[in-house]
Each structure stands twice: as structure tokens, then as C-alpha cells.
Amino acid sequence: MKKDFLTLLDLTRDELNALLKRASELKAGKDSSSCPLIGKSIGLLFNKTSTRTRISFQTGIYQLGAQAIYINTNDLQLGRGETVEDTAKVLSRYLHGIVIRTYEHSTIEKLAANSTIPIVNGLTDLHHPCQALADILTVSEKKGRLQGVRMAYIGDGNNVANSLIEAALLTGIDLVLACPQGYEPDGRIYERAIAGGAKVKILTDPSGAARDADILYTDVWISMGQEKEVERKKKKFEGFQINSRLMSLAKPDAIVMHCLPAHRGEEITDEVLDSRQSVVIDQAENRLHTQKALLEMLVK
Ligand code: CP
Ligand code: NVA
């Protein structure tokens, strides 16, 4: 049976641990000459822009011995009204997997339900699970453990925040989010994590979240597709910037994470993003290793 990766919870804890171990091996150069996916083709179907996701998948797929076929979904017949269902059925006859970045999460659910090949979520409005994989590896590398590490996510309760909540459920990371009222993460994702025993709190006070944190994490205030909301949102997010004042509340050895791209001077200052405590470039690198491990696991 094919396995999809639409949200982080498509992995069990054991599968996640195996994936992290494999990603670390790949990062260390183990099996660097083996090509487990030789002769395969993976579609990269994007209708939002991307630097990290696109290039890390494209490079990783090549390193695994397969070819990546990148296409903007507007250039498919999908862009002229062909259904997601027909697209899924036809592409399943050519490809061995699809990574898709799009708006509505229901689109990738429909794609997955109608495909016989694995579908990987390269970001939707609701989830960014590939980012969460790299984030988890980065936390374990930098902090030497996951269980009980205190992460403060300060900013918009968006796709990245939703996937971090699922990461907290799978790993035991102790997650405190500070979001302006009305910009909390998805209620169902939060409720499910709490019911599953995750340690997740949602506050409206950035200082309360940052105090004694091991990690300060943020993301843009305006996600792709929300460009019309710029002025209204910026006002709501005053006080939610990660800057030296918030950093001074965290533990002295706290690290700073951001999925990137950053809007410097908005959700985070240059000073913090470029500081020695910032691990954002290592975090971006880990996209490559974790996604290679993911594709090895999913693509047959
Ligand atoms: N973090 C992330 O997904 O970056 P891109 O939008 O550049 O792919
Ligand atoms: N929340 C951001 C993440 C970009 C990687 C967005 O959806 O635009």
C-alpha cells in the first residue's frame, strides 16, 4: 500500500525516529554513492513560489538516483480546469511520487485519494510537514534531545505553527505559542494534539512564551496568498517581533529558528537573525537530508 505524507501525523513515532536516524546517516555521507531510486521520476507540482523546498527536493531526488520533474501547476491542464482526480490518476501511471505545494489542504487530500503513488505535502495553507521534519532534526542536533525542550513560537498561527504542534505531539517538545488574538493555530490540530498528550500552550503574551525558552522560533506574518491582509495584520503583530529584548528573556544558550524566507525587520530583527544563536541556515540545510530520508521511506 502506498503511503502519503500530507501531515506530520502520517508518520508514527517509530517511523519518525527511523527517518531522523536515516537523515543523520545521509548527512554524514553514509551510502553517498548508492542510488536507491534509480530510474524513478518524482513530480514537483508547485503553484506557490519556493527556494528551499523546490531546490532541496530537486537536488535530493537527483542524489537518490531519480529524476525530478518540476512544473508550475498552472502549466498543467489542471490550470485550464482538468480535475484533480483525473490528474492524479494519469500522473500515477507515469511517476513514482509527487511533491505538491498549493493553497487548500483539501486539494492534496483529493490528489492523494485518487493516486496510487505517494503524495508529499510541500506546503499548504494548513500544514508544512517537510519543514517540521528538518526542524525536529535541527532541535535534536543542537539540543541533544527532543523530550522536554522548551520551544517558544512567536507569531502567526499558520501552517508552520500547525506542523510544529504536531511535532510536539510526536516528539515531546514542550511548545508554547504566542499569537495575537484571532491568529491562533488551527483549533482542530491543537485539540487533537492536546488529546494525544502533547505539551502545547497558546498565549497572547510574547514575553511569557519567551521566558526561559531553549528555542525561539518565528515565521513571516504574511504567508503566501495573504498579501491582501498586509496592513491589518502588521498592526495586530506589533510586539510579536523576535528582537534582542525577547532574546534576553530566553535561556542564555537559547537558539533562534526560522523556516525562512524571513521578512527582516518585521517578525525578526537582523541583529537576532544574524546572531551566533541563530541556526536558520543549518535548519534550511536539514531540509535536504530529512526529505531524502522521507523519499527513501515512501517511494518504492
Ligand atoms: N521554508 C520553506 O519552505 O522555504 P521555501 O518557501 O523557500 O521553499
Ligand atoms: N508560512 C509561510 C511559510 C513559507 C515557507 C507561508 O506559507 O508563506
Per the residue annotation, which of 259, 283, 289, 291 is the catalytic one?
259
Ramachandran region, residue 268 (left: φ > 0; alpha: ψ -120 to 50; beta: rest)? beta
State the Cα–Cα distance between residues 292 and 149, nearest whole angstrom. Answer: 26
What are the extents of the domains in the chain?
8-128+287-298, 130-283
Q: Render pLDDT for 57-76 as a digit per residue (tens, 0 to 9).
A: 999 999 999 999 999 999 99
pLDDT, position 171: 98
pLDDT, position 123: 99
Minimum-distance ligand to the CA of 135?
1
Minimum-distance ligand to the CA of 46?
1
CB 258 within 8 A of CB 280: yes
Residue 181 C-alpha from the chain's centroid? 23
Confidence bin at 287 (pLDDT 50/70/90):
very high
Confidence bin at 33 (pLDDT 50/70/90):
confident
pLDDT, position 299: 98
**Cell digits of residue 211:** 521566558
State the Cα–Cα distance between residues 4 and 56, nearest whole angstrom. Answer: 19
Nearest CA to ligand 2 atom 1: 223
Which architecture does CATH list for 130-283?
3-Layer(aba) Sandwich (3.40)
Q: pLDDT averaged over the chain?
A: 97
- Topology match between the domains 8-128+287-298 and 130-283: yes
For the CA atoms of the chain, what is the radius of gyration?
19
pLDDT, position 49: 98
Whether the pLDDT of residue 153 is over 90: the answer is yes
Whether the pLDDT of residue 30 is over 90: the answer is no
pLDDT, position 93: 98
pLDDT, position 10: 98
pLDDT, position 214: 99
Q: In percent, how much of the chain has pLDDT > 90?
A: 97
Q: What's the CA-to-centroid distance between 120 and ligand 1, angstroms?
A: 15
101 labelled catalytic: yes
pLDDT, position 51: 98
pLDDT, position 40: 98
User: Which atom in ligand 2 lies closest to the alpha carbon of residue 226?
Assistant: 8
Whether the pLDDT of residue 32 is over 90: the answer is no
Q: Render pLDDT for 81-138 as a digit per residue (tens, 0 to 9).
A: 999 999 999 999 999 999 999 999 999 999 999 999 999 999 999 999 999 999 999 9
**Long-range Cβ contacts of 32-36 (<8 Å, 24+ apart):** 32/63, 34/65, 35/63, 35/64, 35/65, 35/66, 36/64, 36/65, 36/296
Residue that wins the pLDDT comparison between 300 and 205? 205
Q: Render pLDDT for 241-254 as a digit per residue (tens, 0 to 9).
A: 999 999 999 999 99
pLDDT, position 218: 98
Per the residue annotation, which of 127, 128, 258, 289 is the catalytic one?
128
Residue that wins the pLDDT comparison between 19 and 231? 19
Q: Render pLDDT for 128-146 as a digit per residue (tens, 0 to 9).
A: 999 999 999 999 999 999 9
Q: What's the first-to-final CA gap in the chain, in angstroms? A: 10
**Domain at 8-128+287-298, CATH from 3.40.1710.10, 3.40.50.1370, 3.40.640.10, 3.40.1620.10:** 3.40.50.1370
pTM over 0.85: yes
